[in-house]
Structure 1
C-alpha cells in the first residue's frame, strides 16, 4: 500500500528551512515538487589538519591520542583539529615543537597556542595538575596586551625555535618567548629566565614604516615593511640577519646588500639560510650557505642577488629549509638545490644549481593539463608544494610521520597527501605539520 505524499507541505518545509532563495531557483512548473538542497561550504568555511609527532603536544589533541587503548605517539596522516572548526582561523604556524593559531574574532583572546612552552613561547600559563607549564596539551589562549581588542585583528603569526611573533593590523608586532639573542626585538637581559616569563614586547613599526609581514628563523626574526624593506634582529653567527656582520643584534635593523632599493614582497627562512623575493621576481639570499645554497662560501652576511635564479623565469614563490632552497616560477615549475632529500629521487642528494622537479610529480597529466603548483614551503628537512586544485604534495625526512603520508619512511620525490580538503596554507616544524584548508563541498 502506497502512502500519498503532500508535496506542497514538503515544499513549504524546504522553503522555511532553506529560505526563499531555494524556492526561487526552481521553475514555476515544478513548484509543486519537493525541494531538496544539500548544504555546501562557503569561502569562509575551513578546516585545520595536523600530523606528525604528538608527544610534545603540538598537534593540539594529545589527550585524546594518549587515552586510546593503543596510545598514539605520532600521527602519520592528516587529522582534523576540532578546535579550529569552532573558531575561524586566519593564520597558523609551526614552531619547533609547538603550534600557534590566530583567530578572526573581536574577543580579547585572538591567538592560541599548544605544545612546548619551555621558554614561554606560547605565553605564561600557571602550572596545574596534569598540565605543567612546560608542555601545553591543547590550544590555550595567549595573553597579549592589545590596546583596542575589539578593533584589532591578528593577520599573521610566525614561530621560531622558541620564540613567537604576532602581526596585527593596527598595533604593530608582538613578540614573546626566548630572547637570548635579541630575536624578540628587545634588549638582551643576561641570565633572564624564560621559563614562566610573562614579558610581551611590542614593535609598533620599523623606522617609521608599518609592518607588512613577519618571518621567524631558528633564533632570529625578519620583518618586511610596507615599503618593501627588510629588517632583521637576533642571532647572526651565520650571517642570517644580513646586517653586514656576524654579531647579535636586538634592534630591528635594515638588511644590507643587494636588497637595498628593491621592493621585497616575501622572505622565507626555516633555520639560518634566508631567501627574499622582489616584486620583479628576482631572488636574493643571505645566511648559512655551507651546503651551496647561495655560493661557495660558508656564510654570507649581506644580501646577494642570486645569479643561478635569473634564467628560471619570473619567480612567484620561494622557500628555504635547513639545507636546501626552492623556488617557483610563473609557469608553475618548481626548482630545488642544496643538500638533502631534494625531491628528485634517492640518487640525488646534492645540487649546486636549481634543478626542475618534473611537473608530472605534482599531478600534471594529459587528463589534467591545467594542473600547476601555486606555492612551495620548506621545514627544517621536509618540503611541500600546493597546486591550484588545492592538492598537497610532500617529500623529505619523515620524522614522526611529519609528511602526512601514512608512514614514517623518508620520501624521495613528491607524493600527494590524502587530506580530503583544498589546502590553502601549509606550515612545517621540525617533526610536525599543519594545513589550513577549505572543504571541497
Structure 2
C-alpha cells in the first residue's frame, strides 16, 4: 500500500464518511477487485472480492456517461441533468479517485484518494472524453482542447518533456486543432482529431505510437502523426498495455504496437479480421475482445487457470468451444488467436470491457459476466480464483433494472459497474 502524507488519512477518511452519508440505500454503482491505492472508490484501501457501492454522490445517479480505469486510479464523467436523455457525451462533472502518486488525479497534489472527488479545474469546462493510462490521465473538452496530468516519464503527456504534472495541463501541440477521442495504454497516449488524423506519444518501444525515426527510440514526448490508415473515417481509438487499435465507420479494425496477432510488433496500423464488422473493441495486456453483430470474439491468450492447474490448453479451448480462425500466438502459454465465445443462454452481448488480464461483458438482458485473472477479486465472484469461462456477477436486486441498463468498465485489476437510467 502506498502511504499517505501526514494528515492525509484523516482527511480522506472524513471525506469518505461524508460521501457515505450521501449514498442512497439502493446501490446503483459498484466496484470490486484491487483496492490498496483507493481505486475502488468505496472509502477504503483494501481488496474486495464482491461488488461494493461506489461512493459517487447521489446527484450523479443516472448521469454517469463513462468511467475510465487506469493502473490504480479511475475517472468518471457525468452528464448534465438537461442532456441525460439526449446525448451520450459527458458534459457535467469530472470525478477522479485512487492512486495519485504522480498527480494523475488532477487535484494539484500527489495523494491517494479512496472516494470519487470532483476535479475543480474543470468546473468552467465541458469535458466530453477522458482516458487513463497506468499513471496518467487525459481530458478532452467540447472545444477540442486536450488537458493531461500524471506521470510523464515516457513523454506520455505530450508536453515535449518527461516531467510529471499534478494539475491538468493543456497540450500545446493541439491548441490549434480539435481533439475528439482519447485512448491511453500503459505508458502511451493516442488522440483522434476532428480532421480524422490520429496522433501518438509516449513509450515507443513496441511501435504503439507509430513509426519511429530510429529503431532504438524508446519514447516520443511530442505528438506524432500515425499514418498508414487507408481512406476511411476513424470513429474510435483503443489502447492498453503496449497495444493500440482504431475502428473505422465500416467496422474495420486496425491494430499496431505489441503483437496481438502473429509474432511481430508493428509500428503501422494493419487491418485485422476483415470478415467481421466490428462494433466494439476492448484491449487487455495479452488479449482483446471484439464484438460483432452481438457475438463476442477473443484475440490472444487465455493465460489464467490457476484454480485448476491440471487443465491443459487444449482442454480450455474445448471447454470454451473456441473456433480458431488464425495462427498460434508466439507465447507458449497462449491458446490461439481469434476465437468465438459461445452464446450465453441465447443472450446477445451489448457491451465489453477488459483490464490487464480480465474481461467483462453485459448481455441484452442486463446480466454481467466476468472471466480471466482473479487474484485481487476483480471478477466479483467472492474469491480470488481465475476463470476461463464467463461467470455471472451478482449485483443484488437485478430484477429492478430494465433490460441492458448496465455499463461495465475495467481498470488494471479492478472493475466498475454502473446502472443506467
Pairwise same-fold verdict (TM > 0.5) = yes
* Closer/same/farther in 2, CA of residues 119 and 170 from structure 1, 3 Å limit: same
The one-character-per-residue Cα deviations of 1:157-195 (angstroms, maximum 9, x if unpaired) are: 211111001122125221101111221120114xx4x4x
- 1:427 maps to 409
Question: Aligned equivalents of 1:324 and 1:51: distance in 2?
Answer: 21
Moved more, 393-402 or 134-143: 134-143
Matches within 5 A, 1:372-411: 372-411=348-387
Matches within 5 A, 1:87-98: 87=60, 88-98=63-73
Task: Give me the TM-score of the superposition, normalised by structure 1.
Answer: 0.73
Choose which of 257, 274, 277 in structure 2 pairs with 1:310: 274
Question: Aligned equivalents of 1:140 and 1:342: distance in 2?
Answer: 34
Matches within 5 A, 1:38-437: 47-63=28-44, 73-87=46-60, 88-104=63-79, 110-125=93-108, 133-144=110-121, 149=124, 152-170=125-143, 172-189=145-162, 192=163, 194=164, 197-203=165-171, 206=174, 209-244=177-212, 247=217, 248-257=219-228, 259-289=229-259, 293-297=260-264, 299-306=265-272, 309-311=273-275, 313-330=276-293, 332-341=294-303, 347-348=316-317, 350-359=334-343, 362-364=344-346, 371-419=347-395, 420=398, 421=401, 422-437=404-419
Task: Give me the TM-score of the superposition, normalised by structure 2.
Answer: 0.76
The one-character-per-residue Cα deviations of 1:88-121 (angstroms, maximum 9, x if unpaired) are: 3332211111122223359x99322111111000
**Structure 1 spans left out of the alignment, 5+ residues:** 1-44, 67-72, 127-132, 365-370
What's the secondary structure of 2:40's corresponding residue? Answer: coil
Post-superposition shift, 1:341?
4.1
Q: Contact (CA 8 Å) 2:159, 2:172: kept in 1 or not?
A: no
Question: Aligned equivalents of 1:117 and 1:82: distance in 2?
Answer: 18
Moved more, 373-382 or 424-433: 424-433
Post-superposition shift, 1:355?
1.1
Q: Contact (CA 8 Å) 2:256, 2:268: kept in 1 or not?
A: yes
Post-superposition shift, 1:199?
4.5
The one-character-per-residue Cα deviations of 1:237-256 (angstroms, maximum 9, x if unpaired) are: 11111235553222222212
**Structure 2 spans left out of the alignment, 5+ residues:** 1-25, 82-90, 306-312, 318-332
Question: Aligned equivalents of 1:386 and 1:91: distance in 2?
Answer: 15
Post-superposition shift, 1:281?
1.4
* Closer/same/farther in 2, CA of residues 394 and 167 from structure 1, 3 Å limit: same
Q: Contact (CA 8 Å) 2:144, 2:179: kept in 1 or not?
A: no
Q: Contact (CA 8 Å) 1:120, 1:176: kept in 2 or not?
A: yes
The one-character-per-residue Cα deviations of 1:356-396 (angstroms, maximum 9, x if unpaired) are: 1111xx331xxxxxx21122221110012222222221110
What's the secondary structure of 2:388's corresponding residue? Answer: strand
Larger Rg: 1
* Closer/same/farther in 2, CA of residues 280 and 428 from structure 1, 3 Å limit: same
What's the secondary structure of 2:274's corresponding residue? Answer: helix
The one-character-per-residue Cα deviations of 1:396-435 (angstroms, maximum 9, x if unpaired) are: 0013111112221111101121223555432211211112
